[in-house]
């Protein structure tokens, strides 16, 4: 066998942690099949390296992750969220990296709660930021807990501890099958803005004439602040082409997560409202179906007197059509000291898997 080649094989064998004598390597049997030996060593090397790493104590931790489509009962529609149901072992940096890796609008991380009145603590991350609250990820994680983790068999309510306070989630079942999860959002707030409506229309990518002058443009809150923009028709909302960078700057100045366009004039049969949501300030150009923004919209409608509070209102809201991910939100507005806003829907678990992270 060529001396140089024999030396290379000897090096690869030793690097692969195989116990083979020099005499055997120099034998005629090996020299006659040395190309095959080289191929086998190249294959064996990574496997042996991983095995040696594990022996050296460089173990990996396995993290279960789920991809859940919220506000739909059809896969690949609605708003996809990541859910990590056992996050107690994760650092904040690991959570940020997982959210980047999943690359969904939001990922929810569940922790054990040290407060007896809560079942879990939840944190929400976009690929770029931590959010105080996320509606569709709350629907997704609640659906996962109720079905995959069996919570629908032992309770009708899951209580979540979040950065904005307690968020109770009701589980609705029919014939022992989960039909909907409904979260009660925190009490709504509304505040005025100083920006010119025509400028907001320009940044939202619609004409000033498309604004519905019957209703004010305001900021509204049920967990996150959203800029609420009334528009005359679904057609004009669908035609919106926002100035993303300028809209991002405006929302950052306003401390608003997103800009939320809405109309009562929808062509979707059976729906009360149609919406679109843009969130470049939190790293989301457009969100398919937004639980927090539509909850804030309902709070705005109630507090501005657009929905009279003498009655309980049940709204069916459509969103996501322009993105090819149509979804449905069911929103209830009930009279209270402040209007009580509940947002619900169904979900579909589309992907489950394991992330391997170094310990």
C-alpha–C-alpha distance, residues 251 and 40, integer Å: 58
Q: What is the pLDDT of residues 80-115, one digit of tens each?
A: 999 999 999 999 999 999 999 999 999 999 999 999
Cα distances (angstroms) measured from residue 127 to each of 20, 82, 294 = 49, 11, 22
Residue for token digits 């976009």?
Answer: 126
Nearest to 201 by CA among 232, 170, 171: 232
CA angle 236, 212, 345 (to 5 degrees): 70
206 three-state secondary structure: coil
Active-site positions read: 106
- Is 0.75 topped by the overall pTM? yes
pLDDT at 18: 44
Residue 172's contacts (CB-CB under 8 Å, 6 or more residues apart) are 178, 179, 180, 181, 182, 344
Query: What class, spelled out in words, does domain 189-338 have in CATH?
Result: alpha beta
pLDDT at 2: 54
Quick one: three-class SS letters along 146-169? HHCCCHHHCCCEEEEEECCEEEEE
pLDDT at 59: 79
- State which fold the 60-186+348-358 domain adopts: Diaminopimelate Epimerase; Chain A, domain 1 (3.10.310)
C-alpha–C-alpha distance, residues 11 and 313, integer Å: 76
340 three-state secondary structure: strand
| pLDDT less than 70: residues of the chain | 1-58
C-alpha–C-alpha distance, residues 278 and 64, integer Å: 30
Rounded (10°) CA dihedral 257, 263, 205, 344: 30
- Buried b / exposed e across 73-92, counting CB within 10 Å, b at 16+? eeeebbbbbbbbbebeebee
pLDDT at 300: 98
pLDDT at 29: 47
Contact 327, 78 (CB under 8 A): yes
pLDDT at 58: 62
Could you give phi then psi for residue 358, rounded to 5 degrees? -65, 140
Residue 24's contacts (CB-CB under 8 Å, 6 or more residues apart) are 30
pLDDT at 311: 85
pLDDT at 243: 99
Q: In 21-164, which ranges are E strands?
A: 60-70, 79-84, 107-112, 120-125, 130-131, 157-162
Output the six-digit token pair for 130.
Answer: 């931590």
Q: Which helix (H) or strand (E) holds 315?
A: strand 313-319
Burial class (CB in 10 A: 0-12, 13-18, 19+), 301: buried
């Amino acid at each position: 066998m060529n001396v140089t080649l024999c030396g290379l094989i000897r090096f690869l064998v030793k690097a692969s942690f195989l116990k083979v004598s020099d005499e055997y390597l120099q034998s005629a049997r090996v020299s006659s099949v040395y190309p095959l030996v080289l191929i086998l060593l190249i294959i064996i090397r990574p496997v042996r390296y991983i095995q040696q790493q594990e022996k050296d104590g460089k173990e990996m931790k396995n993290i279960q992750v789920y991809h859940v489509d919220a506000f739909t009962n059809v896969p690949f529609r609605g708003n996809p969220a990541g859910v990590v149901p056992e996050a107690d072992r994760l650092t904040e940096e690991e959570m940020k990296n997982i959210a980047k890796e999943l690359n969904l609008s939001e990922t929810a991380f569940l922790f054990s709660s040290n407060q007896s009145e809560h079942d879990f603590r939840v944190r929400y991350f976009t690929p770029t930021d931590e959010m105080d609250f996320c509606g569709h990820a709350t629907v997704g994680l609640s659906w996962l807990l109720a079905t995959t983790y069996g919570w629908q068999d032992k309770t009708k309510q899951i209580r979540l501890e979040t950065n904005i306070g307690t968020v109770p989630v009701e589980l609705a079942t029919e014939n022992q099958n989960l039909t909907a999860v409904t979260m009660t959002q925190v009490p709504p707030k509304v505040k005025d803005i100083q920006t010119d409506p025509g400028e907001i229309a320009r940044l939202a990518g619609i004409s000033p004439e498309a604004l519905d002058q019957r209703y004010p443009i305001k900021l509204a809150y049920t967990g996150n602040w959203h800029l609420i923009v009334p528009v005359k028709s679904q057609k004009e909302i669908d035609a919106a082409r926002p100035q993303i960078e300028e809209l991002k700057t405006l929302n950052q100045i306003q401390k608003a997560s997103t800009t939320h366009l809405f109309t009562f004039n929808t062509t979707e049969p059976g729906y009360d409202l149609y919406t679109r949501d843009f969130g470049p300030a939190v790293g989301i150009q457009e969100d398919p179906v937004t639980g927090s923004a539509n909850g804030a919209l309902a709070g705005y409608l109630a507090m501005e007197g657009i929905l009279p509070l003498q009655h309980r209102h049940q709204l069916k809201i459509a969103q996501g059509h322009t993105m090819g991910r149509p979804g449905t939100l069911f929103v209830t507005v009930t009279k209270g000291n402040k209007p009580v806003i509940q947002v619900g829907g169904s979900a579909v678990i589309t992907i489950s898997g394991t992330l391997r992270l170094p310990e």
